Amino acid sequence: MKTRIDAKFAALRAEGRKAFVAYIMAGDPDYDTSLEVVRGLPGAGVDVIELGLPFTDPMADGPTIQLAGQRALEAGMTLDRTLDLARAFRETDNTTPIVLMGYYNPIYSRGVDTFLAQAKEAGIDGLIVVDLPPEEDSELCTPAQAAGLNFIRLATPTTDDNRLPRVLQNTSGFVYYVSITGITGAAEAEAGDVGPEVARIKSATDLPIIVGFGINTPEKSRAIASVADGAVVGSAIVSRIGAGDSVDSVLEFVKSLANGAHAA
């Protein structure tokens, strides 16, 4: 079964264009502002929306995303309200893919089957769950694919040739290549380092390779997209929201990043 993610990448491939993915923490700084930003993303040139599910112990995230999660939780954001936000977005946009990015604990607490049914109904297309390694595929990855959701894996600079086949085994939608070792927002991505790694992963899969972590300017977005199938930006956008920038200002910044990736 083809998802919105599969359809989007097929369309981009046909047009010879690179993808721009934007990460937003659901409910940051509050539900209404967050929904307004998310609704504005497609118009700003975003091809895929990565929606963060706030969690109390986000171990893969740097301070910027951690603070966004805290703001969202303090504003009353929950798994249910995150799914509500996706539903509200789907009322006016039935084509832009949404990837829900989070941790396994809230999903496990809800019950995997219940969660997958609710996520699918809410209009979620794929999942990134960073604390479930491939060895745990039967927990969520395999059931998610069976439910018609893509399960997107992270590959990193430390994913060697022995590990890579295991990482790619049940991955679908796209591969998210983490350009640096460490947490989000920690260092800058360099196209010279990323290019050979993307080529190495491409030799092992037909899936699109999208690169994230350490991309914070339109120039960087363009440079990274030029050596991959697209770029994802999170911390740089989230920090603008955290600084209290207006929705219009945030979307203007997103548009500049998207233009960078699309110029690649």
Q: Could you list the active site residues?
A: 50, 61
- Angle in degrees, CA 167, 171, 176, rounded to 5: 75
Cα atoms in the Cβ-side hemisphere of radius 13 Å centred on 180: 18
Phi, psi of 230 (to 5 degrees): 165, 175
Residue bearing tokens 């998310």: 38
Give the whole-angstrom CA distance, residue 215 versus residue 104. Answer: 26
Q: Outline where the chain has alpha helix (H).
A: 4-15, 31-40, 63-74, 79-90, 104-110, 112-122, 141-146, 164-168, 191-202, 218-226, 235-242, 247-262
Q: Are 149 and 3 a contacting pair, CB within 8 Å?
A: yes
Taking residue 145's Cβ as centre, other Cβ atoms within 10 Å add up to 21
DSSP-assigned beta bridge partners for residue 52: 25, 101
